[in-house]
Structure 1
Amino acid sequence: MLVLIAGIIGINPDKPSEDLSAALEGFVKMTDAYDLAVLQKAVERVGALICAFPAHPEAVVEGQLLLRRAGERAGVKTHGSARPSSPSTALRAPPWSGELAHLDRPKIIDAMSRVARYLSDGTKGLLWTSADDLAAYTIEAGSEPGAADGARYGVQSFPTSPLEMMETYERGRGVRLERQSLGSLSEVEDMLAQARASTPPSGHPEYIWLTYPKYMVNGTWDYETPGCEPGPGIK
């Protein structure tokens, strides 16, 4: 089955790397999310769509809708959506679409300065998903017999706290990291409330980063039942 991965090289690069090019059957470049002619050409002959657009509002919302509509016109039934949000609160996709939810994680370890940053006391267990595992789960979900009927997946590679992650890093690299707490959860919540009160909705990119540590640490983004049992295509 031919699979289209939209956004595979990110926002800025003009073309994929040599290694990536060797693994692709073809590549088309869009000028922006509204390049409908190129978008329609990209979905020809594909059996499934996987959206790897970056977490930018225009790309995630309008870009994905245009991709879905192009897929509909081409008869594509399986669509893996990019949705960096809580699976319990996000809107459910149409029944013909498969979704794979994941959470972007802020950078905790700065290897250059050897500083490790965390919120609160760093003991709250967080859910982590590696890029390789996310790719494997996406392919597995899109290859299932009932993929076109729609499904929702909350996956993870492993749970661990920031402090445990730092200790593992130190043992593996043979270095010592400086611990740096970024403040308590209540302090982050106060900063977020002040930013929302003083910034119009159109300016949300200026403070949205404050929501990530808030919802990760208070447990809002924890999966109640991670649907990540290994399938036949996952090692």
Structure 2
Amino acid sequence: MLILIPGATGRLGLYIVRSAIQRGHRVRALGRNAEKMPQDLRAQLESFVEMTDFGDSVAFDRACAGVDAIIVAWNEEPRLVLDAQLVLLRAAERAAIQRFHAVSWNTDWEHMPLGVIESYDAMICFARQALLTSPIKPLYTFCGVLAKTLFGVPGAGSLEGDASLWVRKEGGERVINLIGAGKTPTPFSTEEDVAEFTVALTTSDGAENGGYFRFCSDVFSILDLKETYEQLRGSKCHINHVMDVTTCKQMIKQARDDAIRNGELHKRFKNIVGLVYAVFLDEGCYNIEPVDAEKFPDVPRTTLKEYILANEWV
């Protein structure tokens, strides 16, 4: 198949490009700057279509021409997820494309109301608008927390910097900034695994029927993470109890109320999202069961132990 990947140079897009090429598909990338893609990967593309802004319908039409499937790998920026993705959906309709994997790859928001976590609101709105207005039936994958987000790799998500859960210290020591008890099993996916699942899903029989799918690499609690790290690396992993969940919820409400009252939610919501994720991790209220993991036996499921051993950053 010829697969269009908007956001091909992003934190998940590169993995999706590699997976698609390795599986024998041709890949067309859509992005702002082809130079951001590694040269070895760029050389394997069918083409790279550059876009100027979120509403570049001319570029979107050019990118969709002759394409068999689309996997939208943009990050969680609301204007990309809702505004740009709707423009892209219309371009896909004009090109008669039926296989369309939308931005997702997080916890289970299929039945989540708006306002629970700001970074999901645009995804929920897109899914509803697509259902109401488009003949295309998008695919969505829920995979729990992504590895680089969990471990605070710079540029990888909402759990980095001041909001980091995982903190690297000198000499191999690590600190987990914990909100709550840390005992709740948490679905976890490596970027490589979820990219493999996404490509397998999007190119599978019946993908044009769309739907919500659930996959993860492994499941473990934060306390399991501490124990596993210490066993494998022989270094201490300390728990820093930041606050209990009740206090965290109060902080979220106060921060959200203040931001809305001052008309600054669009500027400050990213600071709120990290706290909401902490509540999700402790309560497990939107966790997935990886019921679709066995659909594609060739898709790897990397364990936490394997990931720690293979990744120096951790």
TM-score, with normalisation over the residues of structure 1? 0.88
Please name the residue that 1:163 is paired with: 223
Asked if 1 retains the 8 angstrom alpha-carbon contact of 2:142 and 2:214, the reply is yes
Please name the residue that 2:7 is paired with: 7
1:149 aligns with 2:209: yes
- For residues 297 and 235 of structure 2, the distance between their equivalents in structure 1, rounded to whole angstroms, comes to 38
Please name the residue that 1:97 is paired with: 138
Please name the residue that 1:87 is paired with: 110
Structure 1 unaligned residues grouped into runs of 5+: none
Superposed counterparts of 1:5-44, under 5 Å: 5-10=5-10, 14-44=35-65
Higher share of residues assigned helix:
2
Please name the residue that 1:180 is paired with: 240
1:208 aligns with 2:273: yes
Asked if 2 retains the 8 angstrom alpha-carbon contact of 1:102 and 1:129, the reply is yes
Please name the residue that 1:133 is paired with: 193
Residues 1:176 and 1:230: Cα distance change in structure 2 (over 3 Å): farther
- Percent sequence identity is 27
77, 82, 98: which one aligns with 1:56: 77
- Aligned residue identity for 1:130: T
- For residues 12 and 202 of structure 1, the distance between their equivalents in structure 2, rounded to whole angstroms, comes to 28
Partner deviation per Cα, 1:89-117 (whole Å, 9 max, x = no partner) = 24455362222234444343223453222
Q: Which is further off, 195-204 or 41-50? A: 195-204
Residues 1:146 and 1:202: Cα distance change in structure 2 (over 3 Å): farther
Distance apart, 1:129 and its partner CA = 1.1
Asked if 2 retains the 8 angstrom alpha-carbon contact of 1:82 and 1:101, the reply is no
Asked if 2 retains the 8 angstrom alpha-carbon contact of 1:54 and 1:60, the reply is yes
- For residues 75 and 182 of structure 1, the distance between their equivalents in structure 2, rounded to whole angstroms, comes to 51
Structure 2 unaligned residues grouped into runs of 5+: 11-30, 113-123, 151-158, 301-314
How many residues align? The count is 235
- Aligned residue identity for 1:221: Y
Partner deviation per Cα, 1:117-169 (whole Å, 9 max, x = no partner) = 22212222111011111111111111221111112102111110112112222
Asked if 2 retains the 8 angstrom alpha-carbon contact of 1:39 and 1:67, the reply is yes
Asked if 1 retains the 8 angstrom alpha-carbon contact of 2:143 and 2:187, the reply is no
Aligned-pair Cα RMSD in Å: 2.3
- Aligned residue identity for 2:281: M
